Amino acid sequence: MFKLPLILKLFRRTAGINRKRMVMTVAAIAWGTLSIVLLLSFGEGLKRNLTKGSRGLGEGIIVIWPGATAKVFAGFPQGRNLRFVPEDIQLLEANIPEIALSSAEMRRWGNTVTYGRITLTKPVVGVEPSYGELRNQLPQSGGRFLNLRDEELKRRVVFLGNDLKDELFGDKDAIGETIYINKTPFMVVGIMVKKIQMGTYGGPDANNAVVPLSTFRALFGRRYVSDLVVRASAPELNEAVKKRLYDVLGGKYRFDPTDERALSMWDTVESQKITANISIGIELFLGVIGGLTLLIGGIGVANIMYAVVKHRTKEIGVQMALGAKRAYVIGPLVVESLSLTALGGVIGISVGVGLVKVLAFVQSKADSEALEFMGAPTFSFAVAFTTVVLLGAIGFLAGYFPSRRAVSIQPAVALRYE
């Protein structure tokens, strides 16, 4: 059993002999640690931002568009264009119990949206009240999304995307104000909370004016919906729900349930899995680069330990001749190696965490879409654990192999070593 005071004494002696080399090695370890902390923190921030952005469209939702039949079915020819109606939502809810939320959606481009002297050309979307939760369109404080009374009474109320609100009102409070959509007055009842939206099928939500579906139909005289949006009670039920969608809609519109071209679907669960895999791949790539940088410092530690072993060859020979156990010889050398690695690691982690906080603060204040997309660098538990494990492994290996070489020397040979 080796004692800590003796190890510290040997460590101080090694430091005196190899002072310059040791300083350079600690600096290399610190630089490698700083590199891996920064790279993993940027990777963690990007991963979290990609995950957040993939959920901006809606978490676990399925968007269904009508297609054209590609198969002959029940006497009907192929090539028929399908069109959905708002009542299809009730049909789906009645026949697919796995559906937890659903909404029909109507969309129209090229509308004039006017407030005061400002007139813009923007898309208008007609939806049901559940659409806000389905599509993560959350209202800012003081406002609300559309509700059941709006839909039942065909109220002329509108929920504005945050970018559209800024274009019309600037810094002015818009709640309760009246805007004109195609010269028809609408009262603003809510403004969308700003969100990161990586996926879109009709333009960014931040740019839309959202009105009740009943109001949209009365204003534009539309009969057919643009698409249907549904969400299962659990993400793992999406595959079963998609199969049932073909069965139920196929029964109503007379198309073969195996005809994949009859319906077009966007399952966000699948896209979110792809995004998660991409982000993990990016984080692993950055971690490998940082690990290789740290490995260079580890090679420096190993070189120092080989020099220490060479300098103590006679001393090790005496210990072995007197019957010292292998652990007594190997232990102090490994601890010395770990001490060097730990010293460089503490310096690198301390500087790295400080830089991560500074960069995160700068990112939060910068008005840049590129920086916003990258996300704020994040020093998480996973980053800390990975860094400590790598440092420990490199420190142990850098001390173990030179010390193993030391105990493999015959005592008689070691005593004759010059």
Q: pLDDT confidence of 1, banded at 50, 70, 90?
A: very low
Residue 191's pLDDT is what?
Answer: 97
Residue 181 within a domain? yes
Instruction: Pick the closest to residue 229 from 209, 205, 207 (CA basis).
Output: 205
Considering its fold, how many domains does the chain have in total? 2
Over residues 21-29, the mean pLDDT reads 74
* H-run or E-run covering 143: none
Strands 184-191, 157-160: pairing kind? parallel
Q: Which one is predicted more confidently, 375 or 42?
A: 42
Rounded to whole angstroms, the Cα distance separating 28 from 14 reads: 18
Select the highest-mean-pLDDT range: 19-33, 251-265, 284-298, 346-360. Answer: 251-265
Residues 15 and 153 grouped into a single domain: no
Over residues 141-163, the mean pLDDT reads 96
Residue where a domain stops, chosen among 224, 254, 284: 254
Q: Which one is predicted more confidently, 348 or 118?
A: 118
Residues 245 and 140 grouped into a single domain: yes
Residue where a domain stops, chosen among 221, 254, 287: 254
Residue 318 within a domain? yes
Residues 314 and 401 grouped into a single domain: yes
* Those residues with Cβ within 8 angstroms of residue 236's Cβ, 6 or more apart along the chain or in another chain: none
Point out which residues pair with 280 in neighbouring strands.
none
Contact 215, 155 (CB under 8 A): yes
Residues 31 and 101 grouped into a single domain: no
Least confident among 147-161, 207-221, 265-279:
265-279
pLDDT at residue 335 is higher than 90: no
CB atoms within 10 A of CB 379: 22
Rounded to whole angstroms, the Cα distance separating 129 from 248 reads: 23
Residue 9's pLDDT is what?
Answer: 63
User: What average pLDDT does the structure give for the chain?
Assistant: 83
Over residues 136-142, the mean pLDDT reads 94
Residue 199's pLDDT is what?
Answer: 80
DSSP class of residue 74 equals T
Rounded to whole angstroms, the Cα distance separating 345 from 392 reads: 9
Q: Which one is predicted more confidently, 109 or 383?
A: 109
Over residues 105-134, the mean pLDDT reads 95
Rounded to whole angstroms, the Cα distance separating 133 from 139 reads: 10
H-helix segments, 190-312? 213-220, 238-253, 268-311
Residues 302 and 341 grouped into a single domain: yes
H-helix segments, 183-260? 213-220, 238-253
Contact 344, 25 (CB under 8 A): yes
Instruction: Pick the closest to residue 66 from 269, 214, 232, 228 (CA basis).
Output: 228
Select the highest-mean-pLDDT range: 15-19, 54-58, 258-262. Answer: 258-262
Residues 409 and 369 grouped into a single domain: yes
Residue 54's pLDDT is what?
Answer: 74
Residue 328 within a domain? yes
Residues 105 and 231 grouped into a single domain: yes
Residue 184 within a domain? yes
pLDDT at residue 304 is higher than 70: no
Q: pLDDT confidence of 295, banded at 50, 70, 90?
A: confident
What tokens were used for 259? 């005809």
Owner of token pair 């006679």: 314
pLDDT at residue 338 is higher than 80: no
Whole-structure pTM value: 0.73
Owner of token pair 């196929």: 250
What tokens were used for 159? 């929920």
Residues 209 and 300 grouped into a single domain: no
pLDDT at residue 292 is higher than 60: yes
Residue 277's pLDDT is what?
Answer: 83
Residue 98 within a domain? yes
pLDDT at residue 58 is higher than 80: yes
Rounded to whole angstroms, the Cα distance separating 3 from 56 reads: 58
Residue 75 within a domain? no
Rounded to whole angstroms, the Cα distance separating 168 from 395 reads: 61
- Summarised one tens digit per residue, pLDDT across range 205-242 is 999 999 999 999 999 999 999 999 999 999 999 999 99
Residues 30 and 141 grouped into a single domain: no
Q: Sign (positive/negative) of CA torsion 280, 281, 284, 286?
A: negative
Percent of the chain with pLDDT over 70: 81
pLDDT at residue 17 is higher than 60: no
pLDDT at residue 176 is higher than 80: yes
Q: pLDDT confidence of 37, banded at 50, 70, 90?
A: confident
Contacts within 8 Å (CB) and 24+ apart, 252-255 = 252/88, 252/91, 253/82, 254/73, 254/74, 254/76, 255/69, 255/71, 255/73, 255/76, 255/80, 255/82
Residues 130 and 192 grouped into a single domain: yes
* Those residues with Cβ within 8 angstroms of residue 153's Cβ, 6 or more apart along the chain or in another chain: none
Q: Which domain holds residue 368?
A: 4-55+273-416
Residues 90 and 51 grouped into a single domain: no
User: How many residues are present in the chain?
Assistant: 418
Residue 310 within a domain? yes
Rounded to whole angstroms, the Cα distance separating 219 from 139 reads: 24
Residues 213 and 355 grouped into a single domain: no
Over residues 65-75, the mean pLDDT reads 92
Residue 62 within a domain? no
CB atoms within 10 A of CB 65: 16
Point out which residues pair with 127 in neighbouring strands.
105, 212
- Summarised one tens digit per residue, pLDDT across range 378-403 is 877 777 777 778 777 877 777 777 76
